[in-house]
Structure 1
Amino acid sequence: MSTPPRSRRPQRALSALAAAGVLLATAACGGQASATVGEVPAYGAALQPELEQQVSEMLVTGAAVDVRSPELGDWTTTIGTRAYRGTDPVQIADHVRIGSVTKTWTGTVVLQLVDEGRIRLDDPVATYRPDVPNGRNITIRQMLSMRSGLGNYTTSPDLSQRMDADPGAVFDPEELIRIGLAQPVEFPPGQGFFYSNTNTVLLGRIVEQITGSSLETEIERRVLTPLGMTGSSFPTTSGALPEPHPQGYTYGTNVETIDTNVLSPEKQAAARAGTLAPIDVTLANPSWAWSAGAGISTADDLTAYVRALAGEGLLSPAMQQTRLDSVQPTDPADPASAAYGLALARFGPYYGHTGELPGFNTFVGYDPQSGTSIVVWASLAPSPDGRPPAVEMAKTIIAELAGAG
């Protein structure tokens, strides 16, 4: 699979997009104890053992799946437990951190402001942030689509060290922006694709500048409340996770995996043998991710959200079409590469996003043609061999649905 450029681990900690590519590949099959809710359609019965085997192979503690298909039927399942070596089963209503799916919340608010005539996609960022180098030549559109060329603040070794030393640390968005703007640019504006969280943090601050209120308030008012997402929130300084929730785990520290998500062969073997326990990062403060990844949600809320994100209900019809049309391959020479647009990704026929930060991995996707939505989350990120569990599970689900359709 062709994928967008990789960056250092805290970049991974916000998005599994780089590992997602076009989610059409098949994955391995097999089994772990699980719970299934409601009548099981044929595709669900086929998928259950495959997903259980994947969860077992990737050492995932818990995972949840919510598929809604008008043609094939709806299917919801959970696998595993809320805690490492625990007995309390994962529940579909559990709250999890959604990582870079949060980018679509922030991007949606920006596009709503465009709809309202309060900002334009082709405005230079210098109009709002004179501190951005070459900001007169970088547009809001390029920042939303990760084509600004701005460096990524989460590649900073110092940031990784601070996160490891103090998981409860609260980071101010302006500090994150300063770190990001100090990074080398990747290319001239519009001349490539580079997944940079600096773009989204800048956009979050621009939303606050235009509206005069906090991004938390705007996301709540414009996205969560209209869609009835009562289990979702955008915390700005707290590391708390609402009950009920699973524990979130990772096997490597930020510093240890700064260049790659793949742990050493020795650590992988120890994890598989059970002699290396995962690190519990459930309450690590996500303020370092802010508008790029600090969101919290549930499977049910994410299902309602992704159907609106790639369907209707959040933007005007014209703006929604602009958003869908904006999604283009990240590698122009490879039409099969992962596609990205205005804070929106596409995986085969599914529009949505992936999300990853230490302890949690999420996939959300919706196919407007078939009306099928897929939501997957896992309480481990990444697996010891570097794979994003929810994305790997989503690959398997997409392949099965394609064969069953």
Structure 2
Amino acid sequence: MPGAIVSIRTPESGTWTTTLGTGDLADGAPIRSTDHMRVGSITKTFTGTIILQLVEAGRLSLDDPVAAYRPDVPDGQHITIRQLLQMTSGLYNYTEDPEFNRALDEHPQAPWTPDELLAIAFAHPSYFPPGGGFHYSNTNTVLLGLIAEELTGQPLAELFRQRIFEPLGMSESSLATDSRLPRPHAHGYEFISNVDSLTAPVLEGKEAAWADWSAGNPKDVTNSDPSWAWAAGAAVSTVDDLLRWAPALATGALLSPEVQRERLTFVPASDQPGAPTYGLAIADFGGFLGHDGQLPGYNSFVGYNPQSRATVVVLVNLNQSPDGKAPADELTKLIFSKVFPAPSS
């Protein structure tokens, strides 16, 4: 990976933050702890919080059918708001569409509208009947973003600012509305194209990122337009802001205890032993509550453990390693194994 920012905070030891590698392979400039990064699907935790605030205010119910707000959703009369949040709707994930991924590779700066994204999703059959399983789908969160805008009459970026970022003092966070990143920022890189990432192949013969960049690989995708991710993945943040967000998300600082209990109702996200479980736009990684995120050029993790009150934030300016793995997730696993090992049985 070109560079990474890692931060760990515990009540006993305070905050430890380090930077590794470079934020710009063109000049070798070191990555900085103040750099802005795209945080991908961590955005879902923001969108989910807005929806849950609206639930708390009585503007909608978790058991409302999505058809009440978007009549065009296939089988929408049987899909609930809760199922959108919990990834149990069965709706096709538009980012799994091969033609869509080809378009992202060929025209990375092309803007997308939410309705264009939904049209791709709705052209495919659902994975299963509503509530019949778990399948991670960005389509769910795009729908939630549109519902939030419909109910409030405000753009989602403004809702994030007013309802989350300003109350928590997250002054360096935003929902991207174009391809520009705030300064300072780390350049984002990718080895694997969007089309190839559908199968996450193992690529042989890769050397260090610096040597590969000199030969045109990894590719600088910093200015790719993130509108295709929107409510599901277009947020920008910094390590300091995410250190604020992690405990607020996990403890429900912006929600009532009743609604936070709903958020922390988890379902299995996989049948693999030790796999994360998923709540209402939040995941449980072995006691650390948070989310990871990935989109071209960037990979991220944020988590908070309510029992130990420990926070882990990892930001990497590479979305996938040459072997197809998510580098921030791999660093997080290493941190968990070395710093927060599971107690022996």
- Which string of whole-angstrom CA distances, capped at 9 and with x for unpartnered residues, describes residues 257-287 of structure 1? 1432224325x36969635521000010000
Q: Residues 95 and 296 of structure 1 are in contact (CA less than 8 Å); yes or no, is this contact kept in structure 2?
A: yes
Quote the residue 2:200 is aligned against: 261
CA 1:271–1:89 in 2, change beyond 3 Å: closer, same or farther?
closer
| Distance of 2:308 and 2:86 partners within structure 1 | 25
What SS is found at the alignment partner of 2:23?
coil
Q: Residues 197 and 324 of structure 2 are in contact (CA less than 8 Å); yes or no, is this contact kept in structure 1?
A: no
Quote the residue 1:124 is aligned against: 65
- What amino acid does structure 2 have at the position aligned with 1:289? A
| Distance of 1:301 and 1:97 partners within structure 2 | 13
Find out whether 1:301 has 2:237 as its counterpart: no
Quote the residue 1:318 is aligned against: 258
Quote the residue 1:364 is aligned against: 302
Q: Residues 271 and 384 of structure 1 are in contact (CA less than 8 Å); yes or no, is this contact kept in structure 2?
A: no
Quote the residue 1:208 is aligned against: 149
| Distance of 2:209 and 2:314 partners within structure 1 | 23
Q: Residues 99 and 292 of structure 1 are in contact (CA less than 8 Å); yes or no, is this contact kept in structure 2?
A: yes
CA 1:239–1:273 in 2, change beyond 3 Å: closer, same or farther?
closer
How far is the alpha carbon of 1:221 from its aligned partner?
0.8
What SS is found at the alignment partner of 2:289?
strand
| Distance of 1:272 and 1:299 partners within structure 2 | 24
| Distance of 1:335 and 1:277 partners within structure 2 | 35
- What amino acid does structure 2 have at the position aligned with 1:283? N
What SS is found at the alignment partner of 2:167?
coil
Quote the residue 1:382 is aligned against: 320
- What amino acid does structure 2 have at the position aligned with 1:144? L
CA 1:328–1:404 in 2, change beyond 3 Å: closer, same or farther?
closer
What SS is found at the alignment partner of 2:29?
coil
Quote the residue 2:290 is aligned against: 352
Q: Residues 3 and 20 of structure 2 are in contact (CA less than 8 Å); yes or no, is this contact kept in structure 1?
A: yes
Q: Residues 156 and 179 of structure 1 are in contact (CA less than 8 Å); yes or no, is this contact kept in structure 2?
A: yes
Q: Residues 2 and 210 of structure 2 are in contact (CA less than 8 Å); yes or no, is this contact kept in structure 1?
A: no
How far is the alpha carbon of 1:71 from its aligned partner?
2.4
How far is the alpha carbon of 1:229 from its aligned partner?
0.7
Q: How does 1:38-49 map to 2 (within 5 A)?
A: none
Quote the residue 1:250 is aligned against: 190
Quote the residue 1:30 is aligned against: none
| Distance of 1:230 and 1:84 partners within structure 2 | 28
| Distance of 1:200 and 1:403 partners within structure 2 | 33
How far is the alpha carbon of 1:247 from its aligned partner?
0.7
Q: How does 1:329-348 map to 2 (within 5 A)?
A: 329-331=268-270, 336-348=274-286
Quote the residue 2:96 is aligned against: 155
| Distance of 1:205 and 1:372 partners within structure 2 | 34
Q: CA RMSD in A?
A: 1.8
| Distance of 1:271 and 1:92 partners within structure 2 | 20
- What amino acid does structure 1 have at the position aligned with 2:290? G
Quote the residue 1:15 is aligned against: none
Find out whether 1:182 has 2:123 as its counterpart: yes
Q: Residues 153 and 176 of structure 1 are in contact (CA less than 8 Å); yes or no, is this contact kept in structure 2?
A: yes
**What TM-score does the superposition give when structure 2 sets the normalisation length?**
0.94
| Distance of 1:276 and 1:207 partners within structure 2 | 41
- Which string of whole-angstrom CA distances, capped at 9 and with x for unpartnered residues, describes residues 66-123 of structure 1? 1110124321100011112633211111000000000110000000000000000000
What SS is found at the alignment partner of 1:318?
helix
| Distance of 1:163 and 1:272 partners within structure 2 | 25
Q: Residues 275 and 285 of structure 2 are in contact (CA less than 8 Å); yes or no, is this contact kept in structure 1?
A: no
What SS is found at the alignment partner of 1:364?
strand
What SS is found at the alignment partner of 1:184?
coil
| Distance of 1:403 and 1:337 partners within structure 2 | 16
Unaligned runs of 5+ in 1: 1-59
Find out whether 1:91 has 2:32 as its counterpart: yes
Unaligned runs of 5+ in 2: none
Moved more, 112-121 or 179-188: 179-188
**What TM-score does the superposition give when structure 1 sets the normalisation length?**
0.81
CA 1:362–1:270 in 2, change beyond 3 Å: closer, same or farther?
closer
- What amino acid does structure 2 have at the position aligned with 1:311? T
Moved more, 122-131 or 155-164: 155-164
Q: Residues 96 and 198 of structure 2 are in contact (CA less than 8 Å); yes or no, is this contact kept in structure 1?
A: no
What SS is found at the alignment partner of 1:375?
strand
Find out whether 1:280 has 2:223 as its counterpart: no
What SS is found at the alignment partner of 1:207?
helix
What SS is found at the alignment partner of 1:355?
strand
| Distance of 1:382 and 1:74 partners within structure 2 | 27
Quote the residue 1:51 is aligned against: none
